Amino acid sequence: MQITRNEIKLMQLESQGLLNPFPKNADKPDVLKTIQKIELLQIDTINVVARSPYFVLWSRLGNYQKQWLDQTHAEGHLFEYWAHAACFIPIEQYPLFLAGMTEEKSGWKNADTWRDNHVGLVNLVLEKIKNNGPTKSSDFVRKDIKTSGWWDWKEEKIALEYLWTHGDLMIAYRNNFQRYYDFTEKVFPDFNKNQISIEEATRDKVERTIRVLGATRLKWIADYYRLKKATLTRVIKELIQSNKVFTIQSSDWNEEIYFHNSQKELFENAISDQLIPTKTSLLTPFDPLIWDRQRTREIFNFEYTIECYLPAKKRKFGYFCLPILYNGNLVGRIDAKANRIDKIFEIKSIHFENEFIPDEIFFSEFSAAVKSLASWHSTPTIKLNEIIPAFIKTNLESKLSVE
């Protein structure tokens, strides 16, 4: 028995919550369930449309209330830490990161040297939090001259980040996306109740990755939690020996494919053609389905790069392109921008993959997804840029109620 690339793709879509249409009525518990399903929700501050963590949830839930994520975090069901990148993570995973927080190499290079040279400052920051409770970076007045560097943080902000990275502080909640730091024992009193070793944590992260990917090549596993590749072979061997992970030969790649024992039914459904992709959605560049660009290319045959970091002349598709997911495939991308003041959702450009030919069904489902996104984002007026090809504009204008 072998598994095909398409079957792997379908297992991954189902495991990522992107196989079937939006639920009719998403509610607050769905936010936590979705994050637990994908394990990690990446945080990014780019808000050309919606900030990534909110957008990733919309891609799966449709019209939910953004404040549900903030509330779920503030209620202690989530914590923030470095995983794939900075992420919201279900609180039950905290022991997986605790051991690494106290390592000397935790944080940025020479972080402990910085701390040793700023003991007074660190103590001042801790004292302020002790006296005032949850504290944000802007509560400290800047004393030095601001430069134009990307990491132009005031020293108190550096101290907060150091203390957070090393486990002394947690981010209790966010308000207007600003972090509020507080003592770990206040935010999560049981933080050290289930301590495990770094080796045990790595094993758990590998197991979670195999489960969340549905079915995976060896080369895709390390990226999800940004693990060291040198440890994978030994850990996976242990998981196979304990019957937590199984393998099957790939018909598209000359290698074994891994899947978790909890995904046996999913595997059987995939190889018996029971997984039917019917979802149409748009994805943020930081969606876990596509954040590994190599995995995206190999599964979906979709070359994707976020181009906002490139000079304008080097951009091929646009500043902030959102991949279009349609019936299990990535069929194109739109460069979009939300003008919140004027309540306008602008589609600046649309590009389809060469092999994809949009039809009436696609235009209807794509339009419904765009209208859902625009309405959820409180930018209900949709605008199509003049450079969009005429045949696309003609098919979309009436369906999108373009003004």
pTM: 0.94
Average pLDDT of span 353-361 = 95
pLDDT averaged over every residue in the chain: 93
The reported pLDDT for the residue numbered 145 is: 58
Band of residue 291 on the pLDDT scale cut at 50, 70, 90: very high
The reported pLDDT for the residue numbered 150 is: 41
Tell me the percentage of the chain whose pLDDT exceeds 70. 96
CA 196 to chain centre: 25
pLDDT digits (tens, 9 = 90+) for 44-97: 989 999 999 999 999 999 999 999 999 999 999 999 999 999 999 999 999 999
Q: Do 23 and 64 touch, CB atoms closer than 8 A?
A: no
216 φ, ψ (degrees, to nearest 5):
-150, 150
Average pLDDT of span 179-190 = 97
Band of residue 194 on the pLDDT scale cut at 50, 70, 90: confident
The reported pLDDT for the residue numbered 105 is: 58
Band of residue 110 on the pLDDT scale cut at 50, 70, 90: confident
Indicate the CATH number of 301-400 among 1.10.3470, 2.30.29, 1.10.540, 3.40.630: 3.40.630
> Is the predicted pLDDT of residue 398 greater than 60, yes or no?
yes
**335 beta partners:** 321, 349
- Cβ partners under 8 Å of residue 211, min gap 6: 15, 260, 262, 263
Least confident range from 112-116, 172-176, 253-257, 342-346: namely 112-116
The reported pLDDT for the residue numbered 176 is: 92
> Is the predicted pLDDT of residue 213 greater than 60, yes or no?
yes
CA distances from 105 to 87, 99, 108 (A): 20, 12, 8
- Cβ partners under 8 Å of residue 45, min gap 6: 51, 177
pLDDT digits (tens, 9 = 90+) for 119-156: 999 999 999 999 999 999 999 886 665 554 545 678 89
Band of residue 403 on the pLDDT scale cut at 50, 70, 90: low
Domain boundaries, the chain: 1-102+167-278, 301-400
The reported pLDDT for the residue numbered 153 is: 73
pLDDT digits (tens, 9 = 90+) for 327-353: 999 999 999 999 999 999 999 999 999
